[in-house]
């Protein structure tokens, strides 16, 4: 995951955060990758590979005749799996050059929303796709996150407002998931599509644990916004352990397009 603009980089917690992310989002990502018919011999680029779960899945699909390049700024946590087609490389998508027209598939998840330079990075990713190849983005629209059940609507709304403020101050586009389709269209992609999905996260679930980790990562910065108090965060931690309190995930927007040719 790129560091610049990324607020969740607390070293002691990032591994757990990535594990929660993979558990919640891998099924969605894999569903869309499978629909693109990723198969033997493909060359794939995974930008912001994190723990490497999607890179490993891609490696199994492309087989020994294919290649998966998994990039990140923290490659020490990217597990390529057993000897195979996955190569891990340190790379900054905002500044470092990518090979042009080199990949049948380029994928990134929860990367561009954090980057002030997201449009420049997106253009580089598009150029890296072979004519006839695919680009898939999985991104959040963080503006929509209602409480579905329980009595903590007010305290959660304060937390959500503070979190969005911290992200925005760091240069994130908190509605990027809903903006990605237009951005891909402006890059000239065709055969485009998008799908949005949200999950119910009851207290005690993996999704609620993900939010607990985020609170631990950002607690001081959240309080510093003036939108939520330390007492609010303590109350919310208790709610996030209560199965009767259910919050929706962020809206996960998957957007894909083919490079003409």
62 with 68: CB under 8 angstroms? yes
- Structure confidence by residue, pLDDT tens digits, 209-233: 999 999 999 999 999 999 999 999 9
Q: Cα dist. 151→158, 194, 249 in Å?
A: 14, 33, 17
- Tokens 């931690």 map to which residue? 237
**pLDDT score for 4:** 47
Quote the pLDDT of residue 213.
Answer: 97
Report the domain count for the chain. 1
Residue-number span of the structural domain to which 254 is assigned? 11-258
Please check whether residue 1 lies inside any domain of the structure.
no
pLDDT tens for 67-91 read: 999 999 999 999 999 888 999 999 9
Does residue 21 sit within a domain? yes
> Does residue 3 lie in a domain region?
no
Q: What is the pLDDT of residue 203?
A: 98
Higher pLDDT pick, 141 / 261: 141
Asked, for residue 145, whether it belongs to a domain, the answer is yes
- Does residue 2 sit within a domain? no
The CATH number of whichever domain residue 171 belongs to comes to: 3.40.50.150
Q: Is residue 149 part of a domain?
A: yes
Determine the average pLDDT of the residues in 40-55.
98
Q: Is a pLDDT exceeding 90 seen at residue 9? A: no
Whole-number CA gyration radius for the chain: 18
Mean pLDDT taken over the chain = 95
Whether 1 shows a pLDDT value over 60: the answer reads: no
Counting Cα atoms < 13 Å in the Cβ hemisphere of 199 gives 18
CA angle 93, 96, 97 (to 5 degrees): 105
In whole angstroms, what is the distance from residue 254 CA to residue 70 CA?
A: 19
Burial bucket for residue 258 (CB in 10 Å: 0-12, 13-18, 19+): middle
Q: Is residue 83 part of a domain?
A: yes
Q: Whole-model pTM above 0.85?
A: yes
Please tell me the predicted confidence (pLDDT) of residue 62. 98
> For residue 11, is pLDDT > 80?
no
pLDDT, position 82:
87
- Reduced to 3 states (helix: H, G, I; strand: E, B; else coil), residue 66 is coil
Q: How many degrees, rounded to 5, is the angle at CA 14 between CA 11 and CA 17?
A: 160
In a domain, 39, yes or no: yes
User: Would you state the pLDDT for residue 210?
Assistant: 98
Query: How far apart are alpha carbons 117 and 69 in whole angstroms?
Result: 22
């Amino acid at each position: 995951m790129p560091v610049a603009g990324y607020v969740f980089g607390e070293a002691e917690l990032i591994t757990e955060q990535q594990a929660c992310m993979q558990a919640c989002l891998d099924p969605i990502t894999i569903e869309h990758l499978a629909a693109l018919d990723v198969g033997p011999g493909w060359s794939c680029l995974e930008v912001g590979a994190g723990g490497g779960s999607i890179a490993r899945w891609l490696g199994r699909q492309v087989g020994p005749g294919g290649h998966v390049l998994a990039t990140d700024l923290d490659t020490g946590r990217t597990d390529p799996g057993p000897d195979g087609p996955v190569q891990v490389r340190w790379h900054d998508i905002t500044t470092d050059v990518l090979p042009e027209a080199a990949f049948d598939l380029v994928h990134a998840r929860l990367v561009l929303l954090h980057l002030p330079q997201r449009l420049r990075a997106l253009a580089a990713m598009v150029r890296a796709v072979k004519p006839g190849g695919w680009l898939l983005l999985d991104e959040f629209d963080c503006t929509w996150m209602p409480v579905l059940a329980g009595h903590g609507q007010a305290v959660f709304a304060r937390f959500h407002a503070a979190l969005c403020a911290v992200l925005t101050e760091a240069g994130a586009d908190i509605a990027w998931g809903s903006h990605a389709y237009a951005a891909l269209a402006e890059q000239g992609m065709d055969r485009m599509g998008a799908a949005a999905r949200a999950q119910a996260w009851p207290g005690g679930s993996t999704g609620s644990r993900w939010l607990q980790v985020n609170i631990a990562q950002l607690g001081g910065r959240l309080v510093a916004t003036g939108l939520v108090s330390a007492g609010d965060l303590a109350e919310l931690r208790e709610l996030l352990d209560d199965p009767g309190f259910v919050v929706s995930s962020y809206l996960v927007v998957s957007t894909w397009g083919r490079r003409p040719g």
